Structure 1
């Protein structure tokens, strides 16, 4: 009798695709590519590089590396990829240090990092100078409260300076997307 390996749900977060007509990755092509790699229950969310899939592989870094290599081979350019588990994504939502229920989705953002960064990396950012904007560092994520939205956030610009996250893949999603990805991965954890 054949046994089936237990699968877990993951979200794939691609950085910097489909922006201004550059580095185009059609979501139908991304879904097909993930399925070709053997991942199941593949779905995408929006056009900004969010996909959900199941896999028997438990190594998020290995999944991200494999998907990144497949994207480069298929589309002809490199894309930073992060893969995060359903339980991790739910924890990000549950541990939000800001009153998410009281805020519009455009006011709250999560930057996901490829690894833990310590507060010393962000020590040069004078948080008081950017009030009422605020940020909080989580496990492998940063929460950003930007009351006027990300596009007008001076704190977001300061936090994205080269050097603060040197050597770390970072990609940001608004709160609505963070919640949706947690929901989409919730049934398979």
Structure 2
């Protein structure tokens, strides 16, 4: 197992969350590991989905080694499929069938998540402990014009940086709750595409779960 620095290790996770296959290290090595980042569930009392039910939906769809992390819609799983596009279509179809409404899903491979973590442009600054950091995962890479619009929306204490198919956001720690100038809604409006945002601690923990 790859050892991460202490501040990137996940919280203790039980077999109830991970599932027995992951706890005992028996994830199928011939399968691809994927992360589904679901948008808009368990937010403000809307589209409430218990994690046990969510894991069950993925297992019923034929995925293995299914694990969820916290309530914001993060599902790690294994599949023999090699196409992110086909996996996304299958995941969204399974969710629609089980729940009766659409749940947008963004899919990332373990390699893609490792790149997101390793290419953090704000790593040194965030390590000083006076900032909050987020990663907005996008449907596609932002164009030059879209990033120009996003950068123009920056205010003092807020910085953006474009990744491959994500945007990093660094905020001063002084911003709390409703006074934060950053939101997923702002990103979607300026970039003209769907996005779903995770804080840095969640992002690094998800990478750890993808490499049991």
TM-score bin (small chain): 0.7 to 0.9
Cα deviation for residue 120 of structure 1 reads 1.2
Deviation string 1:119-173 (CA, Å, 9 cap, x unpaired) is: 31131345485122101001000000012257432144784262x222x321000
TM superposition score normalised by structure 1: 0.86
The TM-score normalised by the length of structure 2 is 0.77
Counterpart secondary structure, 2:120? coil
Structure 1 contact 127–134 (Cα < 8 Å) conserved:
no
Structure 1 window deviating more from structure 2 (20-29 vs 43-52): it is 20-29
CA deviation vs aligned residue, 1:22-71 (integer Å, no higher than 9, x gap): 11221111101111111111000001100100111111121111111111
Distance 1:87 1:103, change over 3 A: farther
Judge conservation of contact 2:66–2:75 (CA < 8 Å) in 1: yes
The residue number in structure 1 matching 2:138 is 113
Determine if contact 1:15/1:171 at 8 Å carries over to the other structure: yes
Aligned to 2:36, the other structure's residue is in SS state strand
Distance 1:157 1:55 in 2: 29
Moved over 4 A (4+): 126-129
Alignment partner, residue 180 of structure 2 = 153
Distance 1:78 1:152 in 2: 30
Are 2:51 and 1:27 aligned?
Answer: yes
Structure 2 unaligned segments of length 5 or more: list them.
Answer: 1-27
Residue 158 of structure 2 is aligned with which of 133, 152, 159? 133
Number of the residue aligned with 2:191: 165
Shift in Å, 1:90: 1.0
Would the aligned equivalents of 1:150 and 1:156 in 2 still touch at CA under 8 Å? no
2:207 & 2:85 partners in 1: Cα distance? Answer: 19
User: Structure 1 residues 122, 158: closer, same or farther in 2, change over 3 A?
Assistant: farther
Count residues with an aligned counterpart. 181
* SS at 1:63 equivalent: helix
Q: Does 1:179 align with 2:204?
A: yes
Query: d(CA) in 2 for partners of 1:90 and 1:144?
Result: 18
